Amino acid sequence: MLDLTVTAHQPLALGVRPTGTAPVPTRRHVPGSVLRGALAAAWIAEHGLPTAVPAAQRREFTALFEADVCYGPLFATGSRIVPLSVLRCKYRRCTTIVDAAFPDGAGMDGTGEEEPSCACGPLVPGRGEVEFTGADSRSWVTQSTHLQIDDIHQVAEEGLLFTRRALTHRDAAGAERTFHGRITLGTELPDAAAAWLGRARRLRLGGRRGTSGAVTYTPSPAAAVAPPATAHRIALRLTAPALLTDPAGLPLDLADPQALRAALDQELAPLLGGAQLTGVHRVWARRERVGGWHAASRLPKPVELAVSAGSVLLLDFDQPPAPQELLALRDRGIGLRRNEGFGTLDTATTAWQITEPDLAAAQGADDQDREQDGERGQAPEQAEAYARLILDTGHGAWFADHLRPRIQQPAAQRLGLLERPRLRRLTPYQREELTRMLVTAPADVLDRTVGLLSALNRLMDRED
């Protein structure tokens, strides 16, 4: 088993399966399938295509990427998945947490109410998404807009723009973002293949690999992990989508507790020894369709219905499984296509909690939010004043088009707009005010300003 540290040097375009909307969103973590694909590309770059190498190397490739090696997801420092069973403050103004899977455990607010609430209002369930804590929660995504190029004439096509979002490669402090995960080597991996997987190297993760996705992959032997706690009732918290099927190979019906119990018992019984699954106490789950793109064959991967990451299965056993058996279950995962990064999980016997460093960061962020409440309340007025200022320059439409892709960029890059020849005739007052806007205005104010400019420009065009 290997512990991984991946350091990003460029933004990571980890696009979610396209939905026909713009901008193209990005994931907030590196799925195991993306890591597996990047390592496979590195192996092919070193040795050649599997169909064109000697038989021994072909077997090595198969053992690495088609056997029982499991590539887990990579999560950035300061990020976590909030399970669907967790209820939190709707407005994130306090740290009240209730885990519905273990309501009598840690995190219960002690009110005994059927619908837990806090001083701010009702508690709402998590969505199973990866969340960043503290200051990083405001700077995890960057956005860029590009022209679509005509394939025949190699010029920009009129009116065709596309916008992509990417996970930033630097955290709020400006340091390169690091991701952490684990690879389970399995039992069939030859020593030569294990040695290749254990060497540090440069990789390209995600899409747009010509201009983004550069990372340093640093593996190390896995540190010893304390066996997890065990009990008669155990929660399985998915950290990656799981492909659960019935005996016919169809997606498992999570609303049928008997079918779910039978399928899980058949899969878990060989791992958990004498512990027998007696029932599925409760399920918190969402569904999603997972697919992807197979770069080697340049063909789309099959789209399947999966149980989303963050889902929780609360299971009852006739006796507590052995801790070492639970550890083996965590290393293996559940469901199909585990070697592609699906079905990874954590086991738990107590309520989910925020770790102490995350709690301190969240409280610090809440304090900063309260300090900025007055500024946020003035955002509409500031945006309107900025829009008037820009319209007075006579370059409203141009400024809106060029400011939009720079909203998430540092102030120094925004200021490059004022060096354009088009703005050389700005008055000293206009240049000073625009400089102040580009340096001090928050991203939400700039976004609102661009929206107002676009709306006003459309109205002026109609009047003309």
In this structure, of 23-37, 88-102, 172-186, the range with the lowest mean pLDDT score is 88-102
For the segment 340-385, what is each residue's pLDDT rounded down to a tens digit? 889 999 999 999 887 644 444 444 444 444 444 444 445 567 788 8
Arithmetic mean of pLDDT, 288-302: 77
Quote the CA–CA distance of 291 and 238 in Å, as a whole number. 18
pTM to 2 decimal places: 0.71
- The strand ranges marked E within 104-177 are 117-118, 121-125, 130-132, 141-149, 156-167
Q: Are 277 and 316 in contact, with CB atoms under 8 Å apart? A: yes
pLDDT band per the 50, 70, 90 thresholds, residue 458: low
The rounded Cα 456 to chain-centroid distance in angstroms is 36
pLDDT band per the 50, 70, 90 thresholds, residue 314: very high
For the segment 127-163, what is each residue's pLDDT rounded down to a tens digit? 888 888 765 656 677 777 767 777 777 777 776 777 7
Most confident option among 62-76, 142-156, 415-429: 62-76
Joined tokens for residue 240:
């990656």
Radius of gyration (C-alpha) of the chain in whole angstroms: 26
In this structure, of 21-30, 93-102, 292-301, the range with the lowest mean pLDDT score is 292-301
What pLDDT is stored for residue 441 in this prediction?
82
pLDDT band per the 50, 70, 90 thresholds, residue 112: very low
pLDDT band per the 50, 70, 90 thresholds, residue 84: very high
Per-residue pLDDT for 460 more than 70? no
What pLDDT is stored for residue 21 in this prediction?
55
95: Cβ contacts below 8 Å, ≥ 6 apart: 89, 354, 359, 362, 363
Per-residue pLDDT for 461 more than 70? no
pLDDT band per the 50, 70, 90 thresholds, residue 44: very high
Joined tokens for residue 8:
């990003």
Per-residue pLDDT for 75 more than 90? yes
What pLDDT is stored for residue 125 in this prediction?
86
The rounded Cα 199 to chain-centroid distance in angstroms is 26
What pLDDT is stored for residue 358 in this prediction?
47
As a whole number, the mean pLDDT across the chain is 81
Q: For 43, how many CA atoms within 13 A lie in the half-sphere containing its CB? A: 28
Arithmetic mean of pLDDT, 417-428: 83
Residues 279, 285, 287, 288, CA torsion sign: negative
Arithmetic mean of pLDDT, 421-433: 83
Per-residue pLDDT for 231 more than 70? yes
What pLDDT is stored for residue 137 in this prediction?
59
Per-residue pLDDT for 168 more than 80? yes
308: Cβ contacts below 8 Å, ≥ 6 apart: 128, 238, 241, 285, 286, 287, 288
Q: What percent of the chain has pLDDT over 70?
A: 85
What pLDDT is stored for residue 350 in this prediction?
92
For residues 3 and 112, the model is more confident at 3
For residues 247 and 93, the model is more confident at 247
For residues 312 and 141, the model is more confident at 312
What pLDDT is stored for residue 104 in this prediction?
67
